[in-house]
Amino acid sequence: MGALEVTVLYLILLLTTKVISKEEEWKSATATYTKETDGSIIRGGACGYGDIHKATYGKYSAGLSTKLFNKGSTCGGCFELRCVDHILWCLQGSPSVILTATDFCPPNYGLSADYGGWCNFPKEHFEMSEAAFAEIAERKADIVPVQYKRVKCERRGGIRFTMSGSSHFCQVLITNVGLDGEVVGVKVKGPKTGWIPMARNWGQNWQCNINLIGQPLSFEVTASSGRTLASYSVAPANWQFGQTYEGKQFK
C-alpha cells in the first residue's frame, strides 16, 4: 500500500471515528414530569402542535428549558433520555426513551434553579409526560438527573402540512418531520408563483403575507442538517383552512 493510500485510509478512519463519537455523545441534564389525566401531555403548547396525539407525538413528548428550546427552533427534534446516577429513583439498567420536543418549559426566577426553577437559564431540563417519565424513573421522584443526546426522528408517513391563515396571509403548521425533526426553512409555491420563502411565526407555524387561496400548493422544507425536500401539489386547489395534507418524507 502506497503513501497516498495510507493517507486516504487514515482520513476515512478519522472521519468515521468523529461521526461515531458525535453520535454517542451524552450530555447531562435534569428531568421532571407533568401530570395529565391519561399520563401524557395533551397540548403541544409553544410549538403550536395542538393535540399532540393527532400530531403523532403522543406521550413521548417533552417541554424544553430555554437553552434547549432555542426560541422554538428545536420544535420537532428528537432526544434520547436515560436516568443516571440516582440509585433510588432511576430504574435498573438505565433504560432510555426517545422524546420529541413539543413545548417550552418557562423559567421561574422566583425559585432556586436547584428547587423549582429547573427551567431557569442556562439549565438544561426536560419536562416529560408522566407515562414517559415512568419508563426511566420512579414516579415518586421529584426531579432526576438524566443524560440525553440528539437522535434521528423515526416517523410514519410523510411530512404533514396543516393550513391556516386568511385571505391576507397563508400559514402552515408542519409536523411529523423525520430525520432531524427540526425545520429551519420553508417555501411555498402555487402554479401562479415561484417559490415564496415563509417566515417562522411561532414554533413550527410558518407564514407568508400572500393570498394563495384557490391554488394547489407545493412546499419545500429544509431541515437543520441542510437537507431540502420538495413536496409538489400537496394541497389541492380546493384546500381548506384547518385541513391537513401529507407530503414526502426525509429518508
Q: What is the pLDDT along the chain (251 residues), one digit of tens a residue?
A: 555 453 434 444 444 444 333 455 999 999 999 876 554 454 557 898 876 555 567 789 899 999 999 989 899 999 999 999 888 999 999 999 999 999 999 999 999 887 889 999 999 999 998 999 999 999 999 899 999 999 999 999 999 999 999 989 999 999 999 999 999 999 999 998 999 999 999 899 999 999 999 999 999 999 999 999 999 999 999 999 999 999 999 98
Count of other CB atoms within 10 angstroms of residue 201:
18
Quick one: pLDDT at residue 115? 80
For the domain 27-150, what is the CATH code?
2.40.40.10
- Cross-strand partners of 33: 128
For the domain 159-247, what is the CATH code?
2.60.40.760
Quick one: pLDDT at residue 40? 47
CA of residue 48 relative to chain centroid, distance? 12
Residue from 152, 150, 149, 162 nearest 227 by CA = 152
Residue from 251, 235, 225 nearest 174 by CA = 235
d(CA 97, CA 19): 22
What is the arrangement of strands in the sheet containing 217-223, beginning at the earlier edge strand? 228-235, 217-223, 183-189, 196-202, 205-208, 170-175, 160-165, 244-246
Asked if 234 and 187 count as a contact pair (C-beta separation under 8 A), the reply is no
Domain boundaries, the chain: 27-150, 159-247
Grid cell digits, residue 38: 391519561
